[in-house]
Structure 1
Amino acid sequence: MRMWRAFVGVVVAMALVVIADFGQQAALAQERSARVEFGRGQSSTTIRGTVRGYEGANYRINVRGGQRLAVTMDSSNSSNYFNILGPGGGEALFNGSISGDFADIIVPGSGDYVVQVYLMRNAARRNEQARFTLRIEVTGGRPIAPPAPDFADGLSGGPDFFQVADISRGDALNIRTRPSAQSPIVTRVVNGEILRNGGCRMTGQTRWCRVSRPDGSNAGWAAGRFLVEASN
């Protein structure tokens, strides 16, 4: 009888754990939701917020088909990510846990898109907190077209090598991990240094170029206005 009671006690305890975990996951259905609006004449906005545990945050933004939706997130917690969901929900158009903290997509159709901020399960179970900064930008409006390739070759995408130019005396050009002025710095280079061209893209009104040192090291993104075709 004692063994039976002990067995029943273990089963009940396990059931309570499962129910508690299910209750925490169910909280995802009650995520905070807010609509994103841009100021007059603006095409981007910056949102600062906090999520904790299984609590998430949804940011809805109306985008027309063919426009470019760019989202960048910086967070105090390495387990904090965001997804982008289409108007019909379903499978994410962008999955941050796989693709990182920078999204740049051409939306396939018009409607409300959702930027979903959340903590991964391991951090949510520990009820961790994340303070995040989210930058959302919508540009364009032409008919749907495939995005320009991120990596261009020397024939169709500009020179094989750039030279750093027009940096103020005593200053240096930041090479960053992503095409964003808020992203971490990989290295810094000065006027005259030669960088390999990995292709350029527009992020809003800024031209960013994927570059690296000639030997392929220190790869990252640099503001294109400080890069000119190398003479050699």
Structure 2
Amino acid sequence: MRMSAYVLVSVALLGLMACGQEPTKPSVPPSPPEKVAPKVLPALETANAAQFVPEGGSLVPLEFGTEGTTSATGTVKGYAAPVYAVAVAQGQTLTVDFKTDSTNLYMNISDAADHSGAALYRGEVEGTTATLTAPRNMTFVITPFQPRAMARRNESGDFTLTVTRR
């Protein structure tokens, strides 16, 4: 009798297993990778940026990928210098590295929309590398210059800018 009870229980268990499925975890489809919308650069505010161009200077738009690095070289002679405009989307960071052999060349970085002429970054005081994060879509204006005494003597100096937008 013991054997037949064992056989009955075994058969019953096998029957239950054959009828039902083993418990499995619910099938959840994998989430698609999160899509991050590419940053769209705002239009370059060239009309506003032009206010920063000194007499004899020029406005140079720096246009490159939404993120990346570009370089520019130039010369400051007297008051005349190229002025660079860079569009930056809200939340992006702009890093500008200013290199020169002259101890009398500096750069300022301003907001093109600010007609007061105040600099957001003053290279003469703050150094040769600036890092600024855009609080809104905007155009940063990079203005290389030399102090008034040197400019009045029409001295000159060369520089290189390395500009990174992330």
When normalised by structure 2's length, the TM-score is 0.62
Structure 1 residue 32 and structure 2 residue 40: aligned? no
- Following superposition, the deviation at residue 57 of structure 1 comes to 1.9
1:9-20 residue pairs with structure 2 within 5 A?
A: none
- Following superposition, the deviation at residue 111 of structure 1 comes to 1.8
Secondary structure of 1:73 counterpart: strand
Q: Which residue of 2 aligns with 1:165?
A: none
Q: Which residue of 2 aligns with 1:45?
A: 70
Between the aligned partners of 2:135 and 2:159, the Cα distance in structure 1 is: 27
Which structure's CA Rg is the greater one?
A: 2
Equivalent of 2:98, from 51, 56, 73?
73
Secondary structure of 1:109 counterpart: coil
* Structure 1 runs (4+) greater than 4 angstroms displaced: none
- Following superposition, the deviation at residue 29 of structure 1 comes to 4.4
- Following superposition, the deviation at residue 87 of structure 1 comes to 2.9
- Following superposition, the deviation at residue 99 of structure 1 comes to 0.5
Residue ranges of structure 2 left out of the alignment (5+ in a row): 1-52
Q: Which residue of 2 aligns with 1:82?
A: 107
- Following superposition, the deviation at residue 120 of structure 1 comes to 1.2
Q: 1:120 to 1:50 in 2, by over 3 A?
A: same
How many residue pairs align between the two structures?
Answer: 112
Residue ranges of structure 1 left out of the alignment (5+ in a row): 1-26, 140-232
Equivalent of 2:138, from 107, 111, 135?
111
Between the aligned partners of 2:129 and 2:140, the Cα distance in structure 1 is: 16
Between the aligned partners of 1:60 and 1:28, the Cα distance in structure 2 is: 14
Q: Which amino acid aligns with 1:125?
A: R
When normalised by structure 1's length, the TM-score is 0.45
Secondary structure of 2:150 counterpart: helix
Aligned partners of 2:73 and 2:159 also within 8 Å: yes
Is the strand fraction higher in 1 or 2?
1
Aligned partners of 1:56 and 1:119 also within 8 Å: no
Aligned-residue Cα RMSD (Å) equals: 1.8
Between the aligned partners of 1:135 and 1:72, the Cα distance in structure 2 is: 5
Secondary structure of 2:151 counterpart: helix
